[in-house]
Amino acid sequence: MEEKDNKLERLVRGAIGIAKNITGVGLTTDEVKKQRLDICKSCEYLIKKNKILICGKCGCFVMLKAKVVKENCPLNKW
């Protein structure tokens, strides 16, 4: 149960972090988003829950994070 709580906490922190960066920040082009997602989809830390993609390192929602210009991969892959 503790591991599940830790994952949930990381997810919440990640979502809050992205939300803070979205305000007043530009979004990437669809091409850049696709490039970022392709990198994420090949990453060993990617967590797939149904159609939701979650970064196993930072807990962010990958589909959202990949679209925000100011965001970057916690492993410096993009």
The 10s digit of each residue's pLDDT in 36-52 is 999 999 999 999 988 88
pLDDT of residue 66: 93
Q: How confident is the model at residue 54 (pLDDT cuts 50, 70, 90)?
A: very high
Domain count, the chain: 1
Element (H, E) at 33: helix 30-41
For the stretch 5-32, pLDDT in tens is 567 677 766 776 666 666 666 788 999 9
> Residue 78: inside a domain, yes or no?
no
> Residue 72: inside a domain, yes or no?
no
Element (H, E) at 31: helix 30-41
> Residue 75: inside a domain, yes or no?
no
Structural domain that includes position 17: 2-65
> Residue 53: inside a domain, yes or no?
yes
pLDDT of residue 19: 66
pLDDT of residue 75: 97
Whole-Å CA distances, 9 to 30, 31, 37, 61: 29, 31, 23, 13
> Residue 48: inside a domain, yes or no?
yes
> Residue 70: inside a domain, yes or no?
no
Which residues are CB-neighbours of 58 under 8 A, at least 6 positions away?
Answer: 10, 14, 17, 74
